[in-house]
Structure 1
């Protein structure tokens, strides 16, 4: 059914005049007559009876009118759902308890009027494809990993350098330290079952191990953060790395310690990526918000992989 014909039918029904409907729709009276004629032919019924006072609905026209109005309302909602600024801003944060989710919570506090859809995608290829297709508007990633160039229509800006901390149980040899150096970690077993080969964080930790001679173990199934915390609390020989802004909760009896790492402090580079031609006004607001919050600069010397470019950092 031709939606413009339906719109014209509703206009004639409301005004009772073909001429007034034409003026309301900014078309000629002949165009109104033609649309109504085509609609009547397609439906196989007469919709109006011509009278000296104008046009009156037939019984079939009266039956059609409420459905025509509903069709027009559905069409308006469909247009509004994809109109820039009318739909929620869709952003991938990878994990609900990580720094990226914290950045989005801060953005929501600053802009409570902006509707958000926050989701979690695992693979960077999946996120990039979703941005390219318009399924999502943006994603937080560590970009420029070796062999992982972004498509030309995807832009990125580094928004946070997050220091890593060492997480230990109460009986670990380093549990009492106020800080530890990367050199002190050599020979200690660092257990990180969440590292997956081929991911951007896998590339990050590969470079960290290669440069400082660390022992990071990714063995065993990844049962999630609760199982990781239980194991670290109960196993004096194991520790793990955790981002400074990662928000986790554990039982008080675990006695876990978060210990700053120094000389240098390894920082994980979080970037926002988006499609260059994305017109959503809330995306501009998000980028402005992230640009106004400088990437965390840890005290003293920091380390990041060579493939992370300082020029990617957004500054105010």
Structure 2
């Protein structure tokens, strides 16, 4: 169905005259008549009858009018949803409890007038595909696993180096420590179910293990953070790594301890990815905000994998 013909029909119905509708639409009366004739042919009914006073809706025209108006409203909403500056900024934060979500909460607090859509995409390839297709405007990633460079049309900027912490239960040998060094963790079992081979975080922990001789176990099914916390609380032989900004709540009886890791401080590098040609005006605002609040990167006394892109 020709949307312009529907728009013309609604204009004639409102004006009650072909001539006035033509003036309102800045068309010739002949063009208006042609559009109405085409629409009537497509629908197989007559929409107007000519009268000395102008044009009156037929019964079929009266039935069609509210639907025509709704079609025009839907079309306007559809255009508005993608018009630059009017649709929400869509950002992939990977996980609701992670640093990306924390950074976006801060951005929303600073710019509440900017509409946001927050999504969570598991795989970096899916995130890059979504950026290139326009399904999302930006994504928080580590940028990225060895041997997997970004496409040339995808830009990135480091926005946060997030320290890792050790999470233990009250019975763990290191539970009373104010901080622990990576050397002190050698020989301790660090349980991290859910590490998926081929992901950025798997590559990160592989390098951490290789460089510092740690023991990280990803065995067993991943039943989520609640079961992880229950297990760590009840098992003195196990600890886990937790990013500094990860938001978790556990029962008071668990008495879990978050202990800073030093010597050096292992940091997980978060970057923002976006398409170089993305015109959304709020994207520039987000990038400027993250640059202002993210702090320095590659600070002295920290560690990150060598494959992570520099600033």
RMSD: 1.9
Quick one: distance in 1 between partners of 2:296 and 2:163? 8
Distance 1:164 1:55, change over 3 A: same
In 2, Cα distance between equivalents of 1:185 and 1:228? 19
Provide the secondary structure at the position in 2 that maps to 1:310: coil
Residues 265, 300 of structure 1: 8 Å contact kept: no
* Corresponding residue SS for 1:279: coil
CA distance in 1, matches of 2:65, 2:172: 76
Identify the residue that residue 277 of structure 1 maps to in structure 2.
Answer: 277
Is the 8 Å Cα contact of residues 143 and 309 (structure 2) preserved in structure 1? no
Are residues 63 and 231 of structure 1, via their aligned partners in 2, closer, same or farther at CA, if it must alter by over 3 Å?
A: closer
2:157 is matched with which residue? Answer: 157
Contact in 2 for aligned 1:233/1:254 (Cα 8 Å)? yes
Q: By how many angstroms is 1:88 displaced? A: 2.7
8 Å CA contact retained: 2:124, 2:199: yes
Alignment of 1:86-105 (within 5 A): 86-105=86-105
Tell me, in whole angstroms, the C-alpha distance in 1 between the residues paired with 2:18 and 2:119.
50
Aligned position for 2:211: 211
Distance 2:300 2:167 in 1: 21
Q: TM-score, normalised by structure 1?
A: 0.91
Deviates more, 1:84-93 or 1:124-133: 84-93
* Matches for 1:158-307 after TM superposition, within 5 Å: 158-295=158-295, 300-307=300-307
* CA-to-aligned-CA distance 1:31-81 (integer Å, 9 cap, x gap): 112112222333333333334433333333333322222221222222222
TM-score by length of 2: 0.93
Give the Cα–Cα distance (whole angstroms) in 1 for the partners of residues 135 and 308 of structure 2.
27
Contact 1:162–1:296 (8 Å) recurs in 2: no
Q: Distance in 2 between matches of 1:299 and 1:137?
A: 29
- Distance in 1, matches of 2:223 and 2:44, equals 64
Which consecutive residues of structure 1, in runs of 5 or more, have no partner in the other structure? 312-316
What is the CA-CA distance between 1:287 and the residue it aligns to?
Answer: 1.7
Does the alignment pair 1:59 with 2:59?
A: yes
The 2-side partners of 1:303 and 1:36 are apart by 70
C-alpha contact 1:156 1:274 (8 A) present in aligned 2: yes
Instruction: Give structure 2 stretches of 5+ with no counterpart.
Output: none
